[in-house]
A and B are shown apart, each in its own frame.
Chain A
Amino acid sequence: MQHIFNGLVSGSFLAMLALGLAVIFGMLGVVNFAHGAFYMLGAFGAYLLLTEWGVNYWVALAAVPVALGLFGALVERVLIRRLSALDPLYNFLLTFGLALLLQDLVRREYGVQSQPYTSPLTATVDFGLFTYPAYQVMVLGISLVVCLAVWLVLSKTRLGVIVRAATERPELTRALGIDVGRYVAPMFGFGVALAGFAGVLAAPMRAVNPLMGGDLIITVFAVVVIGGLGSIFGSVTAGFAIGLITALANLYVPTLSQTIVFILMAAVLLWRPAGLFGREEAFT
């Protein structure tokens, strides 16, 4: 039971990161390698605010994603957009370089050892059969609410229709009269904000260090591929599923816990090359 909980908690991080990554990839055709760095910046932002200015966790949870979101929108406007007409490889290099740059800037200041961040909630919740840290319960609750809210906006509003269409087939969506470019910077910023939000949530429970994002993001890439490129819904579902499966693997076959994601990815790709919820044509 406890492991299922663990799985859902890490799944919720995967889901929030995969959501942003999927939208960015769909709309821009950019594999955003800096996504993990933004997640790391979220955690570090919270840490900095607390240690340097005594700003508490709750304020950081709101302020850090907003700041990072604006920064992300700026990065899209100033850097990524300039390369959009060229081979996608250039943006791959750009975001990869950006990830290294952000990582090393933080590393220069703080080294690679993990910084402690005291949890805002230290109590535990008694579920009868087992007890669980209250903070983790809250993280799970918050991320479910966030994923649900995003899902509602995406599935019930006109904005949602446009974002889904532009994520799945941006060129076609332009030909239907939609100025996709107008939505790109805000959505990039939103994806980055979500990564930052996940980072702040992670700060009290994971090691806050410059490499935390790089380690996680590889798994998130696998999640997006499994969910199906171009499918927002697929990425979120796959995020929770992979979190669960990894936690269970950790319990029953610990040796596989690191690799199971990639085994799954290979299996899914062999079975359905476009991912679980993707469409084949997305590749042409």
Chain B
Amino acid sequence: MLSVENLSAWYGQARALNEVSLDVAAGEVVTIVGRNGAGKSTLLRSIMGLHPKTTGTVSLDGKPVDRLAPHQRTRRGLGYVPDDRGMYASLTVQEHLLLPRAVGPNPWPLERVYETFPNLADRRGSAGTRLSGGEQQMLAIARVLRMGARLLLCDEPTEGLSPLFVARIGEILREVKEAGVTVLLIEQNVHFAATVADRHYLLAEGRVVDRLDNDQVRSREHELLDYLGI
């Protein structure tokens, strides 16, 4: 469904991604692991069309989207959960949920969002930036579900969350996968990654250096955690 070929990205003269190639098939959950500064967020931003300086090709369903603006890419089914959770200070929780444009075949109705995330229902009148970290993450995910995106790009959704919220995010990702949605997930928590994902890419200094399946991740967990500096 998603295919990235020889993607490079720069910040000024500094190269953050170096000829990255990867594929994600429809219905898969794939994670990207890598140290801080490896280029993971830059990769998602580039796929979304939010990074100004890139070369290489990003295709969705076999069609290149390189020339498309971010909002046009959403029409092809992309949904983005940014690493800073993308909260607006000037929008209430409910407005966060009303803002995104429905693009996919199955946009979640508001009632379903509130049933699935009762916390958000309780806080529907609060500004997005006033929520707790976990609630913000729920809202960021709920927001792309409202769009009915077919491919979710999630940038470290579990970062800094309590185990309770991490477990909740795991449930949601599995539920979303059940519904046939594809997910490309950035995750430092390799233990968690092995419980939700089908396979993994290891990114280092802007390059894909390894591909792992869940068994490999489990058997190399200590080595990986060591490498990631956790």
Contact = CB atoms under 8 A, between A and B. Distances in A.
A177 B100 contact: yes
A279 interface: yes
A142 B50 CA distance: 42
Nearest to A158: B98
Contacts of A173: 99
Given A161-B91, A233-B90, A176 B101 contact: yes
B71 A174 contact: yes
B95 A161 contact: yes
Interface in B71-118: 71, 74-75, 80, 82, 84, 86, 88-91, 95, 98-103
Interface string A144-181: 00000000000000100110110111011111111111
A232 B50 contact: no
Contacts of A232: 90
B75 A172 contact: no
B69 interface: yes
A161 B90 CA distance: 9
A52 interface: no
B56 to A, nearest CB: 20
7 contacts: A85-B52, A168-B88, A168-B91, A175-B86, A177-B100, A231-B89, A233-B90
Interface of A: 85, 158, 161-162, 164-165, 167-169, 171-181, 230-233, 277-279, 281
Nearest 9 A/B pairs, CB to CB: A177-B101, A177-B74, A279-B89, A174-B70, A176-B100, A164-B90, A175-B80, A175-B70, A174-B71
Interface of B: 48-50, 52, 69-71, 74-75, 80, 82, 84, 86, 88-91, 95, 98-103, 129, 143, 147
